[in-house]
């Protein structure tokens, strides 16, 4: 999918990247198309490897140019050209800023206007709605009072957007409800801590919300950094849920109130998560998993498991240890 939200510079060459990283230029200077993660990078892109958690993706990547640290040298397939750096993510951040020079700014869209009713026939608008340029809204949608939809957002047909909602950098399917006060598409909480001033990480990903989804009141769903944040078809989120950047939630999941997801985790289909549970970053939860309320999930959970506790464990053990199974 072409990213409609961030303008990519198309003439970034390898030597521009090397210079930016304070490395020596190479003889043959050629164009790099984009920077992407291992899974989505193509043959003309540049990618990166920063954790052995992504060894599988490394083996499968189509990409031929990769940034990493020397400590990972032995893992890199021989067919891939490698640029070794000290701090992988900081380097990725700098290169991303080369490709997407405007992605660091996350200010409000000052180009929003009152809806032009002629342009949106049949859409039911509340009071004080603000729409950015090139917003597409499907048939039979309703958009509540004071809601702000920034530029380039696309909403499928038959969606109901509540009041006081803010949507940016997001693509929404059909028959989906976004409830009051939800905020979608803000940049993720990604940056590099520095003594004087934290260095913000560019977030050029989107939020992609499927069909028949419900997003609860006061939810915060951040957009991805190099990949997208995804909420699958038929998934329902209760109130005050927080979803950090790059999280991918499958289909028909049920996520109850105040659940939080740290960044870059992947959740399968038909997963049920009880209230106030927290899901750590960079982990994988399989299909049909049931997670009891209040759990803290800090490692991968295989499909069809039932877990509970902090840290989350097999629910039978949790109940047994707490003498709750009698």
What residues are annotated to the active site? 245
Largest CA distance in the chain: 73
278 in contact with a copy of itself (CB under 8 A)? yes
Enumerate the β-bridge partners of residue 29.
none
Beta carbon of residue 24, minimum distance to a copy of itself (angstroms, whole number): 33
Residue 242 in the binding site for a copy of itself (CB under 8 A):
yes
Q: Does 276 bind a copy of itself (CB under 8 A)?
A: yes
Q: Is 246 in the site for a copy of itself (CB under 8 A)?
A: no
Of 194-233, which residues contact a copy of itself (CB under 8 A)?
A: 195-198, 212, 214, 216-218, 220, 222
Strand order in the sheet with 81-84: 47-48, 65-68, 81-84
Strand partners, 137: 155
Query: Tokens standing for 136?
Result: 């597409």
Per-residue x/- marks for a copy of itself, 143-182, CB under 8 A? Answer: -xxx-x-----------x-xxx-x--------x-x-xxx-
Identify the bridge partners of residue 35 per DSSP, sorted by sequence position.
46
Structure token digits, residue 212: 């028949």
- Which residue among 15, 44, 57, 275 contacts a copy of itself (CB under 8 A)? 275
3-class state of residue 167 by DSSP = strand
Q: Which is nearer to a copy of itself, 85 or 182 (CB)?
A: 182
Q: Which of 50, 93, 90 is nearest to 70 (CA)?
A: 50
Do residues 310 and 293 make contact, with C-beta atoms less than 8 angstroms apart? no
Task: Tell me if 64 sits within 8 A of 81, measured CB to CB.
Answer: yes
Does residue 111 bind a copy of itself (CB under 8 A)? no
In the bound state with a copy of itself, the residue whose beta carbon lies nearer, of 45 and 109, is 109
Using the rule CB under 8 A, is 4 a contact of a copy of itself? no
Give residues 291-310 in contact with a copy of itself (rule: CB under 8 A). 293-294, 296, 298-299, 309-310
């Amino acid at each position: 999918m072409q990213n409609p939200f961030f303008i990519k510079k198309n003439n970034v060459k390898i030597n521009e990247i090397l210079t930016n990283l304070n490395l020596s230029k190479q003889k043959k200077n050629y164009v790099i198309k984009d920077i992407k993660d291992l899974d989505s990078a193509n043959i003309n892109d540049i990618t990166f490897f920063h954790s052995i958690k992504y060894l599988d993706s490394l083996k499968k990547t189509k990409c031929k140019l990769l940034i990493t640290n020397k400590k990972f040298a032995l893992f890199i397939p021989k067919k891939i050209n490698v640029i070794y750096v000290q701090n992988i993510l900081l380097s990725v951040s700098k290169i991303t800023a080369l490709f997407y020079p405007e992605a660091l700014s996350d200010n409000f869209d000052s180009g929003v206007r009152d809806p032009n009713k002629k342009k949106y026939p049949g859409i039911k608008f509340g009071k004080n709605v603000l729409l950015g340029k090139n917003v597409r809204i499907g048939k039979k949608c309703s958009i509540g009072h004071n809601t702000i939809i920034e530029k380039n957002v696309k909403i499928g047909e038959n969606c109901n957007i509540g009041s006081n909602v803010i949507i940016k950098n997001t693509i929404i399917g059909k028959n989906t409800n976004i409830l009051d006060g939800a905020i979608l598409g803000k940049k993720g909480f990604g940056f590099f801590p520095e003594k004087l001033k934290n260095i913000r990480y560019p977030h050029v990903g989107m939020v992609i919300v499927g069909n028949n989804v419900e997003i609860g009141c006061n939810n915060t769903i951040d957009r991805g950094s190099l990949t997208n944040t995804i909420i699958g078809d038929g998934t329902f989120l209760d109130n005050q849920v927080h979803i950090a950047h790059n999280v991918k939630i499958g289909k028909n999941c049920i996520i109850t109130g105040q659940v939080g997801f740290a960044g870059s985790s992947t959740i399968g289909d038909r997963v049920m998560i009880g209230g106030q549970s927290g899901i750590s970053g960079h982990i994988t939860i399989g299909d049909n998993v049931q997670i009891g309320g209040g759990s803290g999930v800090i490692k991968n959970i295989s499909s069809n498991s039932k877990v509970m506790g902090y840290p989350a464990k097999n629910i039978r053990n949790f109940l047994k240890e707490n003498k709750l199974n009698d």
